[in-house]
Structure 1
Amino acid sequence: MISPLGQSFRVSKVFKRCPLEIQGFVFSADLIELSFRKFNLILGMAWLVEHQVGLDCVSKRVTLKVGDGEEVVMVGERRDYLSIVISTMVAEKLVQKGCDAYLAYVHDTSAVSSTAEGIRSVKDFSNAFPEELSGLPPDREVEANIDDDPNRAEFWLENTIRVFDELSCTPEECMKCVVSLLRDSTYQWWNTFVSVIPKERITWEFFQEEFRKKNINQRFINQKRKEFLELKQGRMIVTEYEREFVRFSKYAWECVSTEAIMCKRFKDGLNEDIRLFVGILELKEFIMLVERACKDEELAKQKRKAMIEARDTRKRPMSKSFQPQSKRSKETNLRMTISSEYSH
């Protein structure tokens, strides 16, 4: 869905025909769960038309039509209601149009700053659960530069991009912020690099491209591509396999160029018992394929559990029928046999 501010977001819950009681009359509405904090309920245009709602914005008067010609009238009591929300929305629209905005950063100078060394970790509590820990983390060292580790560099860049997208930052704002986040040798590299580059070429897209060239080499990409091509479900559950599949797929776009090809490769990596179930349906939508695989995984788990319980049930009566006789039972049988022979 798209909000009035132009922001897109995904919704996953719809509540059908919810009853809304207004002055003793009950109206029904299909409601969607949204992440807005300032509103309890938003009634869309379709609902307003269905109930022939009349709005008088000046007098804050709302009229709803009810059956048999009756009307329900509501009059707003607070004229300054949601004035702050409206101001915020207007301000956000102005920022999106390119107007300057300033973010205030408040720092408490009287507070004692914490350091990484001051935060206690698991290794400081080895006497609490020594048997459960296979090993302890090494002593803290100075934080490595992101260009020393392609994995860390990629993780940092992707998270930075995600945060900027969430904040709806402009490319110019992204560029200013990302430079302020660089540290140590990475900052020195960028500072030296841009000194010989024309200013008009230095853009947010340009930074991302050069950062990847510098810190995420081709050898790393080839290794991740190989891991994707060899990826199988194995001991992972379906959701874990899906997470790894999606994470590595970006290194081999040609192998997932269409959703149908993506589904086929994902299906080929599933364990055989699940693959046989989902293969019959020939699903070509990735989300539906994953959901179906999760259901089949649960069914297979229940089937294995039922087989184990049935096997244990069959073993119990057999073990009782063939229990060895006790010493006292053997002596009793022997006396009965001797007595029988003597009587003959």
Structure 2
Amino acid sequence: MRWISDVDGCFFTCSCPADQKVRCTLNLLRTGAKDWWRLATSSYSAEQRAAMSWEEFSEMYRSQYVPLVEQERLAQEYLDLRQGFEMVMEITKMFTERDMFCPEFAASEQARMTRYLSMLKMDIKQFVSTQRYGTLFEMQKDSRRSEIEIDL
């Protein structure tokens, strides 16, 4: 999934047109992944391969390289994540890593913010929940600030 995220980042940097994303990605596949693609699309026509969207490719890739049992384990970790003795920066890093693997639970910025708030320690959560945030980043920044103030 990090590879997909890295490739997606390259698309953003290069302003890659949507209809060229899969074609560009195919040039990045190596050894086993190249073989997987060839076999997975062997029954597709040239037109079907050319028409495949980045979202369709990503889903195929994910189902191949992140087995369902692993997806379920990662989703459970994401849902079970709670701040214990970790500092906000540490738990935020753990949250961000798991968030990447669970797009179904992070469908919107608001969903991410709700999930993030639910995993914070009670004293930080009490402070953060009284504020209004437009982005998860703002909430994370304020959570860190709150932690520092509590520790003083």
TM band (smaller chain): 0.7 to 0.9
2:127 to 255, 262, 277: 277
Q: Gaps spanning 5+ residues in structure 1: where?
A: 1-153, 303-344
Looking at structure 2, the residues matched to 244 and 291 of structure 1 have their Cα atoms a distance apart, in angstroms, of 15
Looking at structure 2, the residues matched to 239 and 188 of structure 1 have their Cα atoms a distance apart, in angstroms, of 40
Note the alpha carbon deviations across 1:69-102, whole angstroms, 9 max, x for none.
Answer: xxxxxxxxxxxxxxxxxxxxxxxxxxxxxxxxxx
Q: 1:249, 1:256 within 8 Å by CA — same for their partners in 2? A: no
- Cα RMSD between the aligned structures? 2.6
1:166 to 3, 9, 13: 13
- Correspondence for 1:196: 43
- Correspondence for 1:97: none
Q: Gaps spanning 5+ residues in structure 2: where?
A: none
Change (3 A) 1:188 1:278: closer
Q: Which amino acid aligns with 1:237?
A: M
Identity across the alignment (%): 21
Note the alpha carbon deviations across 1:14-45, whole angstroms, 9 max, x for none.
Answer: xxxxxxxxxxxxxxxxxxxxxxxxxxxxxxxx
Aligned residue pairs total 147
Q: Which amino acid aligns with 2:104?
A: W
Q: Which sits farther off after the overlay, 165-174 or 209-218?
A: 165-174
TM-score under structure 1 length normalisation = 0.38
Displacement, 1:204?
A: 4.0
Q: 1:233, 1:271 within 8 Å by CA — same for their partners in 2? A: yes
Instruction: Return the structure number with greater relative CO, CA threshold 8 A, min gap 6.
Output: 2
- Correspondence for 1:185: 32
1:135-146 equivalence runs, <5 A: none
- Correspondence for 2:95: 245
Looking at structure 2, the residues matched to 175 and 276 of structure 1 have their Cα atoms a distance apart, in angstroms, of 45
TM-score under structure 2 length normalisation = 0.77
Larger radius of gyration: 1
Looking at structure 1, the residues matched to 5 and 108 of structure 2 have their Cα atoms a distance apart, in angstroms, of 21
Q: Is the counterpart of residue 213 in structure 1 residue 63 in structure 2? A: yes
Note the alpha carbon deviations across 1:267-314, whole angstroms, 9 max, x for none.
Answer: 2322233233334x2535434432322111111222xxxxxxxxxxxx
- Correspondence for 2:22: 175
Q: Which has the higher strand share?
A: 1
